[in-house]
Chain A
């Protein structure tokens, strides 16, 4: 007997085909059998009234941090995948900043095996761009890509050395691979706990200038230009960086970027009364930067929204020991 489910009154969305219309969708034996304006259930089956909610293919979260291997008390692939499917995410791509670091084929294969074991959302992984995330020696891009690594990044830290970044982009181009950068000049970021400005000054906290982002972005765009290597800039959060990327795209550089929901939904005032749970990297910015992120999404300069999911235990989110 065929198992049928009819989803009625949905907003049917499919970015791949450009579909966006109200209608119904019929599932038979776990596959979409029909979609259209008004469908009826032929025979037995359940009917779900979607009341105008969106019905879309599973979302792909292009950047999350999972803490497996190494810090499973903060997040395991199991708990991360449960959270993902609860939010409609059916595929997520993990950063390599685990312990040990995902910088070896065996660890890329470990992620694939654990994804099969967990069997909820599909978990793919990036590989470290440099061995041990130390920012010096490149990892085996070719072999790692062959094992399933989707791109190369040092995760939550920038590839700071310009020579290393240049070689990463040039070497990646050899195999047509992608390098993803955390865009932040580390020395400028190290002196602060939140965005630089009036709020930080009032709270007596060290500030991170928004320029820390555009400094790294502009450097990397130059390196992208001279190497031709494909560059993805993670979680852009400032007007200046977005404008630099907008211009680079106009000049035809192979660059893409994303942002995360907190950079268009919140600004630095969320840190307000020392709410350390609003401390993120890069930091929440001022209102004019937040508006620039919205504008960048609207005009397509920003290609994607990633969750930037970074699980921490409560104790480590409190300010100090």
Chain B
């Protein structure tokens, strides 16, 4: 193995969420990712760690960037990667989630990377298959690789996670990115704030270990990191904010609101961005402040690390029954 094996073990069969991971396990994944950041910057980006392994990207929900990122990650490790977009095929024919999973597992994939619009669906699927499962986002629940790539981005820019003050702003209610980030940042000893109108905050969010703000000026005061979230209008049932204009006025990130954060505060966004809705274009494109493009780069590296740790100890399997 060209990348060398870390002394720390990753004792989980699947990566379904950040909740339940230890600080050491997160650090392991971030450390492994560093190696793959370097590898991805080489002319020759490919190695053979996953040679002979099959990765299936099983996406029940539209995605371009996450699916592409996982696909590149699998291919750069030398694995065979195929993509399945299921919203168009078998679900339309009435096949259940479990039937789809059973069909795929009979083809002996080593890793299933799954995205699904319902919270909990990826966990249900993981209980039914005999390969490793990576949650690429389930409903409003978790998106663990996004939180890991965000953590890697922060660690590279700020040198640490411990003790940083992070404000997560916007549509917390519908956001799996927010839940995974809240979990990870708490585990790693950062201080987390959420900033949103009350209609976009889930009940008892403060019990997840965050300080709650309803005002950007108060919420961003003195923070090291500003994470903006996409307004997920596709998950809206009814009206949560009266207009885009009003939302941007009070909760969109522009230089005026950013002025209260630390002078070197980093701006992040999981993408895809709604420019002029939750973030001003000039702020998003500010090369000194915005880490948004770096987040995308880190995404591939983090997903390579996740694929690596979950495929380290595979053994031959019995025939499909």
Q: Number of A-B pairs whose CB atoms are under 8 Å?
A: 65
Residue in A200, A273, A315, A318 whose beta carbon sits within 8 Å of that of B202 in the complex: A200
Q: Do B140 and A274 touch (CB < 8 A)? A: no
Q: A267 to chain B: closest CB distance in Å?
A: 15
Which of B5-13, B120-128, B260-268, B300-308 participates in binding chain A? B120-128
| Whole-angstrom CA separation of A38 from B138 in the bound complex | 65
| Whole-angstrom CA separation of A276 from B119 in the bound complex | 11
Query: Which residues from B are CB-within-8-Å of A318?
Result: 96-98, 124
Q: Do B140 and A205 touch (CB < 8 A)? A: yes
Q: Does A202 contact B (CB under 8 A)?
A: yes
Q: How many residues from A make CB contacts under 8 Å with B?
A: 21
Chain B proximity mask over A174-197: 1 for CB below 8 Å, otherwise 0: 000000000000000011000011
Q: Do B203 and A205 touch (CB < 8 A)? A: no
Q: Do B91 and A205 touch (CB < 8 A)? A: no
Q: Is the interface of A mostly helix, strand, loop or mixed?
A: loop
Residue in A190, A197, A273, A321 whose beta carbon sits within 8 Å of that of B203 in the complex: A197
A187 nearest in chain B by CB position: B238
Q: Does A204 contact B (CB under 8 A)?
A: yes
| Whole-angstrom CA separation of A220 from B124 in the bound complex | 40
Q: Does A207 contact B (CB under 8 A)?
A: yes
Query: Which residues from A are CB-within-8-Å of B124?
Result: 274, 318-320
Q: A154 to chain B: closest CB distance in Å?
A: 23
| Whole-angstrom CA separation of A315 from B176 in the bound complex | 26
Q: Does A143 contact B (CB under 8 A)?
A: no
Q: Do A204 and B140 touch (CB < 8 A)? A: yes
Q: Do A204 and B119 touch (CB < 8 A)? A: yes
Q: Do A204 and B203 touch (CB < 8 A)? A: no
Q: Do B120 and A201 touch (CB < 8 A)? A: no
The contact sample of 30 A-B pairs, CB cut-off 8 A, is A190-B237, A196-B203, A197-B203, A197-B204, A198-B203, A198-B207, A201-B202, A201-B203, A201-B205, A202-B179, A202-B208, A203-B119, A203-B120, A204-B138, A204-B139, A205-B119, A207-B202, A274-B119, A274-B120, A318-B97, A318-B124, A319-B118, A319-B120, A319-B121, A319-B124, A320-B118, A321-B91, A321-B94, A321-B96, A321-B97
